[in-house]
Amino acid sequence: MTNTKKRSSVIGRGLSSLLESPETDITTKSDLMGKYVAGSVADISVSQIEANPFQPRDQFDEIALEELAESIKLHGLIQPVTLRKLGFDKYQLITGERRFRAAQIAGLKEIPAYIRIADDEQMLEWALIENIHREDLNPIDIAMSYQRLVDECKLTQVELSQKVNSKRSTVTNYLRLLKLPDLVQKALKDEKLSMGHARAIAGIEEHDRQIRIFNLILEKDLSVREVEKLTKETAQEKTKKPKSKTEVPYKIVEIKKILSDRIQAPVDIKYRNKGKGSIVISFKSDDELNKIIARLK
């Protein structure tokens, strides 16, 4: 099994559990004609279905749609779309817009649909979650959908991780990508930068340092491990506190000058806290040393 298939399977279960959750499964007995029970699957006329106004996806691969339409002509629409009931003979797509469009191209008059009752907030939430499940999304698109769920659906990161069936740390890592400089986000969208590289850069707070490391990645083709090491060193460099220098009293400066003049040699006084220190006298030869000793006597 490939990573893509595994990812789709895991996230797909998250969406399914959301749509089938008893907490949100509001059902009705029947419509005015005694048909199409909410909470079950029914064949719905394509003309009675409206597009999802909350659909974040506005572009569809035309070739892929044609191929799906051909498959639908041969085998029919096997997987039902999900609709919300707006009223008598009026429905709105929740999930499955790609299948709905392909069914229209294939000329289907009716399609199987799972009917639900949902409010606008649920519609937005489900549309965003379905969008996250797409295999062709780049990390920034996923991050933006996560952020919309947080902002517009008022979800905490814990609630969001449960909705999309992911770890909270995974959700957090995606959301941090949106704080990266624009050129780093663009490189990630254009697949010039991996998710691992971007996650490492996001661990640095300073905008300038993020760009500097990003440029190093492109110039030297650094691996993720190398970038992680580099960002760790950068963080340590930032937290390293400079050693505080003890201020040398004026009298020590004067003593240093007097001693140097008296013995006619370079003198250095190391002054530490609480009056401790040392005096260092420099000389270049035995002859100079003997002269210094004579002057000291």
Q: What percent of the chain has pLDDT over 70?
A: 77
* Enclosing domain of residue 259: 250-296
Q: What would the two tokens of residue 83 be?
A: 């609709």
| Most confident listed range (20-24, 51-55, 146-150, 182-186) | 182-186
**97: annotated active-site residue:** yes
Whether residue 134 is contained in a domain is answered as no
Final residue belonging to a domain, choices 239, 260, 275: 239
pLDDT tens figures, 215-248: 989 888 888 898 888 877 766 665 555 555 556 6
8 A C-beta contact, residue 262 and residue 245: no
pLDDT tens figures, 263-274: 788 878 777 766
Secondary structure letter of residue 48 according to DSSP = G
Whether residue 126 is contained in a domain is answered as no
Range with lowest mean pLDDT among 43-47, 60-64, 242-246: 242-246
Which stretch of DSSP H or E encloses residue 278? strand 277-281
CA neighbours closer than 13 Å in the CB half-sphere of residue 74: 6
CA-nearest of 250, 254, 263, 261 to 294 is 263
Range with lowest mean pLDDT among 5-9, 61-65, 147-151, 273-277: 5-9
> Residue 41: what pLDDT?
80
Q: Where does residue 81 fall: left (phi above 0), alpha (psi -120 to 50 degrees), or beta otherwise? A: beta
If asked whether residues 271 and 223 sit together in one domain, one would say: no
Q: How confident is the model at residue 19 (pLDDT cuts 50, 70, 90)?
A: very low
If asked whether residues 18 and 113 sit together in one domain, one would say: yes
CA-nearest of 163, 42, 210 to 110 is 42
Please, which residues bridge with residue 230 across strands?
A: none
| Residue 124 identity | L
Round to whole Å and give the CA distance between 95 and 12.
12
> Residue 26: what pLDDT?
36
If asked whether residues 173 and 102 sit together in one domain, one would say: no
Residue 45: is its pLDDT beyond 50?
A: yes
Which of the following is catalytic: 97, 121, 130, 237? 97
Round to whole Å and give the CA distance between 175 and 169.
10
Residue 148: is its pLDDT beyond 80?
A: yes
Distances (CA, A) of 142 to 26, 131, 197, 230, 281: 29, 8, 17, 27, 68
Assign residue 195 the CATH number of its domain: 1.10.10.2830
Assign residue 27 the CATH number of its domain: 3.90.1530.30
If asked whether residues 33 and 113 sit together in one domain, one would say: yes
Final residue belonging to a domain, choices 191, 215, 239: 239
Number of domains the chain contains? 3
Q: How confident is the model at residue 24 (pLDDT cuts 50, 70, 90)?
A: very low
If asked whether residues 192 and 261 sit together in one domain, one would say: no
Q: How confident is the model at residue 35 (pLDDT cuts 50, 70, 90)?
A: low
Round to whole Å and give the CA distance between 52 and 135.
20
Q: How confident is the model at residue 204 (pLDDT cuts 50, 70, 90)?
A: confident
Whether residue 271 is contained in a domain is answered as yes
